Amino acid sequence: MTQVFTRPESLKDVATHFCPGCNHGSVHRLVAEALDEFGIRDQTIGVASVGCSVFLYGYFDIDVIEAPHGRAPAVATGAKRARPDRIVFTYQGDGDLAAIGMSEIIHAANRGEDLTVIFVNNTTYGMTGGQMAPTTMPGQKTSTSPYGRDVAKDGAPFKMAELLSNLDGVAFSARVALNSPKNILQAKKMIKTAFRYQVEKKGFSFIEALSSCPTNWGMNPLAANQRVTDEMIPYFPLGVYKNTANL
Amino acid sequence: MPVASSEKIFVKGNEAVAMAALEAGCRCYFGYPITPQSDIPEYLSRELPGLGGEFLQAESEIGAINMLLGASATGVRAMTSSSGPGISLKQEGISYMAGSELPGVIVDIMRQGPGLGGIDASQADYFQATRGGGHGGYRIIVLAPNSVQEMYDLTMLAFDLSDIYRMPAMVLADSVIGQMKESIVANPRPAVALPDKDWVVRGRKDGTPQNIVKSLKLGDGEMEKFHWMMHARYQELADKENRWEEVQTDDAELIVTAFGSTSRIARTAVAMAREAGLKVGLMRPITLFPFPKTAYAKLSERCKLFLDIELSTGQMVDDVRLSVARDADVLFYGRPPGTGSLPTPEELFEQIKKNYQARS
């Protein structure tokens, strides 16, 4: 009998701490598959961020640096400048990347650092218990927006894939989702393309992955998945926003 | 350009720091412009590209310290430099570096504060430097040069100590030492036995086991163990790396103590006192962390009167008081930092004379 589906080599054989229905596990797997398929696992440095994604080193079988909250693009810049022959990626959530780390991501992107950034947007601060994030949707109730996000007071959610695609330094920017087999296959293709940019030294690549957060949304996994379809994707449209080298 | 040479050269303190960094093998510099240290990034932006190094002007002080963290995690020698307001912003990154046991050199050319303060000399960031500065109860190595030659030598030493003890090292000077020009000899990098960096994150190219550079410690007892381990490392630093300079302390009835720029003025005042027949000496700590406590304790077995002089309302004086014998008196004379507040040798001599005569 031929085994046709296995755990990627770049992932350790351990259970994750992610909640049922969370898409972090899927994104981890797709990133690991990309590392395996390019054969770059042993030359890759991952940069973990603060939040649910902090345990990256527990799941990926690669060398990892843990960055302060929001600073992963600066840490990755230092690592890549010091070791330009290595593949360096950051893995960040929405609070980390689009709030406290907005300066670091914008400037790393604008410098066109040869990095890959995996940005998981679940519209909330997961690890700290579901507070309002920079991507929390208008009207969305969270533990710090109990009456719903008030755009007049809190501003509108950041659309990071679009925002970064406007910078000359960005070579590739795309938004994907993990809410259906079709979208997962598309996400895999996009994540692989993002790493291809770095493998071929073609510049800064950015993936925004829409993810559900059933625990902090107060939903079961199915309902949370449905919310990605019904609410998130219409507001955060999927697609490729920039692909300078047509990879 | 080769840095080391046996010929005397005439350079600024800040330039000497940059030259020493190159000679020490530092090939990555990340910084943000701030007076009075901008000569350092200016020099390195000129010289590093030709040496195959990386100079990067960061988007912020926070960006710069985190780039240092990332570069250092891959095992290379890297540096950043700044002054008061910038050093405050870097504290987050310094704390993470300490928690991750990362080496890295941070140059602090102190200016006045609090807030935007001013750009003249100050020693009021002694506490910030020697108490760790950021959250979590850590310390970093702090070296305090008082000449352009020492700016060169101690920067080189900072890289070695930082690598050996796996913690950030700071060169703490001020605008007097950073901006003045003196003749120095740019000595070659000394041969120092350095530990293997088997912990670095560089990709597992050679089939090495997974390396993780992190400061999160959630395991049962893990954090407590880390703190005791660092505590032991600080003790080892104190046992092996204390550095200080004594001038005419053998028969001194009063010992003046000062670090950095103030020690230069104090030294002139001590010479004036000796000329006036007063038995006065000078004790100058070169390492501020570790603080040379045992050297003070030994001096205070015989001499019972110390006069601490600082460009602040008194910070190092606390460490002096904690170091000397119980029956020794530690007096203080300071001028808070501010334009025109740098004391003159005559002013310090008057303080020495007044206290010396009151005691005899």
Which residues of chain B form CATH 3.40.50.970? 8-191+216-241
CA dist B249 and B257 (Å) reads: 11
Q: Contact B316/B126 with Cβ under 8 angstroms? A: yes
- Residue from A237, A166, A229 nearest A208 by CA: A237
Q: Contact A213/A29 with Cβ under 8 angstroms? A: no
- In chain A, positions 46-105, which contact chain B (CB-CB < 8 Å)? 47-48, 54, 57, 61-68, 71, 74-83, 86-87, 103-104
Q: What share of chain B is helix, strand, coil (3-state, %, to 5)?
A: 40, 20, 40
Report residue A223: phi and psi, to 5°: -65, -40
Q: Of A47, A74, A86, which is closest to B63 when you measure between CB atoms? A: A74
**For the segment A66-90, what is each residue's pLDDT rounded down to a tens digit?**
999 999 999 999 999 999 999 999 9
pLDDT higher than threshold 60 for residue A217:
yes
How many Cβ atoms sit within 10 Å of the Cβ of residue B10? 10
pLDDT higher than threshold 90 for residue A120:
yes
Report the pLDDT value the prediction gives residue B239, as an integer from 0 to 100: 97
Q: Of B30, B69, B210, which is closest to A63 when you measure between CB atoms? A: B210
CA dist B269 and A30 (Å) reads: 70
* CATH fold group of domain B8-191+216-241: Rossmann fold (3.40.50)
Contacts with A1 (C-beta within 8 Å, 6 or more apart), sequence order: none
Q: What CATH number is attached to the domain comprising A32?
A: 3.40.50.970
Is residue A2 domain-resident?
A: no
Q: Which residues of B283-296 are buried (b: 16+ CB within 10 A; e: fewer)?
A: bbbbbbbbbbbebb
Q: Of B66, B74, B203, which is closest to A74 when you measure between CB atoms? A: B66
Q: Contact B266/B245 with Cβ under 8 angstroms? A: no
Report the pLDDT value the prediction gives residue B2, as an integer from 0 to 100: 59
Q: B56–A41: do the CB atoms touch at under 8 Å?
A: no
Report the pLDDT value the prediction gives residue B1, as an integer from 0 to 100: 52
Distance from CA of B220 to the nearest CA of A (A): 17
- What sign does the CA torsion over A54, A59, A60, A61 have? positive
A-chain CB neighbours of B204 within 8 Å are 41-43, 62-63
Q: How many domains does chain A have?
A: 1
CA dist B83 and B15 (Å) reads: 15
Is residue A197 domain-resident?
A: yes
Is A107 within 8 Å of chain B by CB? yes
Is B78 within 8 Å of chain A by CB? yes
Half-sphere exposure at residue B274, Cβ-oriented, CA atoms within 13 angstroms: 17
**For the segment A161-182, what is each residue's pLDDT rounded down to a tens digit?**
999 999 999 999 999 999 999 9
Q: A45–B203: do the CB atoms touch at under 8 Å?
A: yes
Q: B74–A79: do the CB atoms touch at under 8 Å?
A: yes
Q: Radius of gyration of chain B from Cα atoms? A: 21
Q: A81–B71: do the CB atoms touch at under 8 Å?
A: yes
Q: Of B66, B92, B214, which is closest to A57 when you measure between CB atoms? A: B214
Angle at CA of residue B139, ends B137 and B145, nearest 5°: 155
CA dist A82 and B123 (Å) reads: 34
Rounded to two decimals, the ipTM of the complex is 0.96
Report the pLDDT value the prediction gives residue A68, as an integer from 0 to 100: 98
Side chain identity at residue B87, one-letter code: I
Is residue A16 domain-resident?
A: no
B333 CB burial (10 A radius; 0-12, 13-18, 19+)? buried
Residue of A nearest to B215 (CA): A66
- Name the token pair of B17: 């720091």
B-chain CB neighbours of A113 within 8 Å are none
CA dist A205 and A114 (Å) reads: 8
Side chain identity at residue A211, one-letter code: S
Q: Contact B110/B257 with Cβ under 8 angstroms? A: no
Which DSSP string do the residues of A30-75 spell out, in sequence order?
HHHHHHHHHT-GGGEEEEE-SSGGGGHHHHBSSEEEEPPTT-HHHH
Is A36 within 8 Å of chain B by CB? no
Is residue A136 domain-resident?
A: yes
A-chain CB neighbours of B71 within 8 Å are 78-79, 81-82
Is residue A64 domain-resident?
A: yes
Report the pLDDT value the prediction gives residue A94, as an integer from 0 to 100: 97
Is residue A194 domain-resident?
A: yes
pTM of structure = 0.97
Q: Which residues of B235-270 are buried (b: 16+ CB within 10 A; e: fewer)?
A: eebbeebbbbbbbbbeebebbbbbbbbbbbbbbebb
Which residues of chain B form CATH 3.40.50.920? 245-359
B-chain CB neighbours of A86 within 8 Å are 74, 202-203
Report residue B178: phi and psi, to 5°: -70, -35
Q: Which domain holds residue A64?
A: 24-243
Is residue A101 domain-resident?
A: yes
B-chain CB neighbours of A107 within 8 Å are 58-59, 63
State which residues of chain B have pLDDT below 70.
Answer: 1-2, 206
B-chain CB neighbours of A68 within 8 Å are 66, 69, 92-93, 96
CATH code 1.25.40.10 for B245-359: no
CA dist A181 and B112 (Å) reads: 60
Size of the A and B interface in Cβ pairs below 8 Å: 134
Q: Of A48, A86, A103, which is closest to B59 when you measure between CB atoms? A: A103
Is B187 within 8 Å of chain A by CB? no
